[in-house]
Structure formats: structure tokens, C-alpha cells
Amino acid sequence: MGLFIGFYLSALETYETFKLLNIIGILFDLLGLLIVSYFLLASEKVRYFLANWLTACVGDAILFIPIGIFLISTVLIFFNFPSAGKTASLGISFFIYGIVPVILLEDFALIPKWSKFSNDIKRLKFLGGFLLIGGLLLQFIAAFMDFRS
């Protein structure tokens, strides 16, 4: 996924980073709303599956998609793709800024270190809140970047 996104962004003549942040924030919000509104009402087997599988997928996506973006865009710099340099710096920035949230996600939702977060409902609530707050923060950052441009 990261390779495809990195290739696509590198091939564009130009793009605005704040628009990309806004799209990512909306996707985070959408997934967070799905978790909070629908998945918490699902059966116990589905909640158990989602609390383990979906949390791991979200954490992996936050870390590994930016690595893929960085790697492919770094290679595409040598082929003179117009936005490859900007995309490479964006990918490494997303990776660096994603490390702390993924550690929090792991400690609270994936492998809870406190008994308060041991059941699936609380883990899914944390994941949904994590995505909603993360999406809102990304949209606020995008709004400030747009305001400054």
C-alpha cells in the first residue's frame, strides 16, 4: 500500500501536504466512527477478532505505509519523478511522528499492560477514540498548514 501511495504521490507534478493530511484525518475519523458506533455492538467473537486483528492492522499501517512511501519515493528520486523528494520527506516524517502513537496503541489496545483495558470492549473503545482524536489532530494540523500557505 505504501509503495503504491508513494509512487502515485511522486508522479504528481505538485501536491499540497495539508490536503493529504486532511484526507488521512478523515479516513482515521471514519474508521474510528465505525469502531465506536458499529463494532462495539457486534457479537463477542467479532469484538475479540477486531480487538486483536484490527488494532494490529492499524498499528502496522501507521508504521509500515510511511516506510513504503519513503522507500519507493527515495528510489524514484533517481528517476527524476517530480515530487519524489517531497514525498520521501513526507514518508519519513509520518514514520517518525507515528512511533509514539503506535506505542500508546500497543500498550492500551493491542497488548494491554493494565487490567482496566483487558476486555475487548474497552480495547475497541480505546482504538476508536485513538483514531477519532488522531484524525481530528491531523485535520487541525492540515487547517493550520492551509492557513499559513
Supply the Cα-derived Rg of the chain in whole angstroms. Answer: 17
Q: What is the DSSP letter of 118?
A: -
Alpha helices in the chain (DSSP H): 2-11, 17-37, 44-49, 55-77, 84-105, 120-148
Nearest to 130, CA basis, from 39, 36, 13, 52: 36
pTM above 0.85, yes or no: yes
Find where cell 504521490 sits: 9
| CB contact set of 23 (below 8 Å; sequence gap of 6+) | none
Residue type (1 letter), 85: G
Q: Where are the domains of the chain?
A: 2-148
- Residue 80 reports pLDDT greater than 90: yes
pLDDT digits (tens, 9 = 90+) for 85-115: 999 999 999 999 999 999 999 999 998 888 8
Q: How confident is the model at residue 31 (pLDDT cuts 50, 70, 90)?
A: very high
pLDDT digits (tens, 9 = 90+) for 118-144: 888 899 999 999 999 999 999 999 999
| CB contact set of 42 (below 8 Å; sequence gap of 6+) | 50
Check if the beta carbon of residue 6 is closer than 8 Å to that of residue 91: yes
